[in-house]
Amino acid sequence: MTAELVRGQNHPLPDTRLELRVSAGHPVVAGATLGDERGLVAGAEWIAHPGAPVRPGVEVPAAPAAEHRVAVDLAALPETVHRLSLLLALPPGAGGPARFGTAAAPFVTVADPTGAAVATYTITGLDRESAVVALELYRRQGAWKVRAVGQGYEGGLAELLADQGAPAAAELAAVVLDAAAPAGAPAPPPLVPETAPADSASSTTTISYAHPSRRPAARPAAPAPGPDTAGTGAVPPPPAGAAVPPQESRPAPVAGDATGWTMDERLYNQVWGMFEDLARSVAAYRSARDFADHRLDRAVDQVLADPSTRVGGAGDAARAAARATHEELMGRAQEVLDRDLAQLAAESEVVEPALPVAYARWDNPAWHAYRAPEEPPMAVRLGDLHLPERGDLRIPFLVRLPLERGLWVDSGPGRTSAAGLLDETELRRLALDSAVAHTARLLAAHPAGALTVHVLDPAGGGAAAFAPLVETGVLAAPPARGAAGVTAVLAQLTERVDLLQMAVRGDASEDLPPGFDPARQLLVVHDFPHGFDDRAVTRLRYLADEGPSVGVHLLMVADRADASAYGPVLDPLWRSLLRLTPVPDDHLADPWVGHAWTYEPPTVPPGSAVLWQVLGQVAEARRRNHG
């Protein structure tokens, strides 16, 4: 699976022999620098460029082009090299763009020896820069990884090389660009004043904080993220054309302004567009923050390493200048993050009230006018997601229908601090209440009779929580009790899965037995593993693995510690389910950006009868449908 990286994200490399492919849409100079443990370049011999395309472990093209292929052999790099940076620069001479912000965003692919793409990165957010560090391959604890960098430099290649510690950076940049210039082209003007130091603590690096526009002509639907599926098929970053206009010039947010054939689809795409924007904005902020910290540390190290500046006024001035640069970079990063978050908050204020019931919180007035739908929606809301940079900005957690995997509501403390503050009884009650709310929402999202719900409650401990489902009559049968009840329900659903799989394989769906219930099935399991023997556990695993493909879904309310006696036998079961918690928890990690999102379960307002009212409507619609 190809990883679609954003700025600051890293990804492991499967091989030491790689090919870096560059597609810029306009001619660029491709080069590479080899750095030590601190990323510093020792001299000209550690820079591969058109005038010297071959260096140990890397070979770059000998001329500017819109498409490049850079060969890398990490095993052939010297032992002192810990970082290889891929550089892109605009060549001198007329006819091409003078800065990256006026041209199509460069696109980089990391491919393995077979040619398969390992990772891709679209370098968005560039503006006035004429040189950029596209990505870096770095060694960490004996293993190699790739990191998307996208760091641009207004001062061009000279400033880039100076930032990497290369001696005589201006002269080196001139050599590189001279080698890339076509015959007869005039020599480029100096990119930095000749009197400027090659790398001083007071020099600054321009960082582009432009937020990528997310209103492309068309947006494919992106799946909901989860513990191990978030980012699969996620919408790639759109190409950056021009800098994003300032906040005051942006159009006012409008609900449903994403693409789609229906308002349901447009709102779904808009919600996930908001998720993407928040992910990118925070990733850019964290990357800029890390860069500023790294620059400060390096500047202070350089001061301390030089005996002439270690103490005295010169050292104090250098440290003060480094801290001032750090504060400036952090301030700019915070300013742009605040701008983007304010825009998203304004969009959330107009989108949230416009969401249909399947996407709405339980306190949304839309639920009071609920009627069973004629067609199922694209997704259901199973909670909210947020990041610590702005905890009050919630993004609806939408999961596509039909469910591709079952759900697991954690009734144990696990490793979360929030759950650890609650006693065992309260945590189990919250978990079961959360599962009932999820069940009610799934029932409400389906047309009348299109979802049949079964409940396993072997010890009868969930009677109070299951009361809304039982008393409104939406269940197929009363909750199954005892080991015999567990066995009977599991046998019935296992037989159903077998029958449907045979019908699908034999293309004989019309030959199903008379009276066969065509509805999707949801099995809610409480108090696991009480009442389960080894055969029942095997059937449960079978339903989790094979059921979703034929419309049989699992919702477990369980504490993994309770089933520790089964050892690794149940590990495939836990991994196959989407883990949800009954208390806010930052466990939802998406590999697309690498953030740990805090998940908050959907809660019914205290004292509200909305859940009972909705289930009553579901039961009434089912009676009319069967009447």
Residue that finishes a domain, picked among 147, 164, 199: 199
In a domain, 585, yes or no: no
Residues 190 and 339 in one domain: no
Write the pLDDT tens digit of every residue in 388-403. Answer: 999 899 999 999 999 9
Which of 21-30, 199-208, 336-345, 580-589 is least confident? 199-208
Q: 479 and 466 in contact (C-beta within 8 Å)? A: yes
Residues 104 and 248 in one domain: no
In a domain, 42, yes or no: yes
Residues 427 and 281 in one domain: no
For residue 242, what pLDDT band results from cuts at 50, 70 and 90? very low
Residues 193 and 216 in one domain: no
The closest alpha carbon to 452, from 369, 372, 553, 537, belongs to: 553
DSSP state, residue 480: B
pLDDT of residue 183: 45
Residues 428 and 573 in one domain: yes
Q: Is the pLDDT of residue 205 over 50?
A: no
Residues 182 and 230 in one domain: no
In a domain, 369, yes or no: no
Secondary structure (H, E, C), 43-58: CHHHEEECCECEECCE
Residue that finishes a domain, picked among 199, 220, 242: 199
CATH number at residue 487: 3.40.50
For residue 535, what pLDDT band results from cuts at 50, 70 and 90? very high
Task: Report the C-alpha gap between 475 and 469 in whole angstroms.
Answer: 6
In a domain, 590, yes or no: no
Q: Is the pLDDT of residue 283 over 80?
A: yes
Residues 93 and 13 in one domain: yes
CATH number at residue 14: 2.60.60.30
Stronger pLDDT, 226 or 441, i.e. the higher one: 441
Which residues span the domain enclosing 617? 404-508+516-580+602-626
Q: How many domains does the chain have?
A: 3
Do strands 3-5 and 117-122 pair parallel, antiparallel, or not at all (unpaired)?
Answer: parallel
Q: 558 and 550 in contact (C-beta within 8 Å)? A: no
In a domain, 395, yes or no: no
Tokens of 191: 């990119």
Do strands 451-456 and 520-528 pair parallel, antiparallel, or not at all (unpaired)?
Answer: parallel
Residues 126 and 185 in one domain: yes
Q: What is the arithmetic mean of pLDDT over 453-471?
A: 95
For residue 237, what pLDDT band results from cuts at 50, 70 and 90? very low
Give the count of alpha carbons within 13 A of 411, CB side only: 24
In a domain, 2, yes or no: yes
Task: Report the C-alpha gap between 286 and 293 in whole angstroms.
Answer: 10
For residue 413, what pLDDT band results from cuts at 50, 70 and 90? confident
Q: What is the arithmetic mean of pLDDT over 322-343?
A: 91
In a domain, 399, yes or no: no
Which of 12-26, 200-214, 276-290, 525-539 is least confident? 200-214
In a domain, 396, yes or no: no
Residues 263 and 326 in one domain: yes
Residues 173 and 263 in one domain: no
Residues 184 and 246 in one domain: no
Residues 326 and 223 in one domain: yes
Q: What is the arithmetic mean of pLDDT over 257-264?
A: 84
Residue that finishes a domain, picked among 292, 323, 354: 354
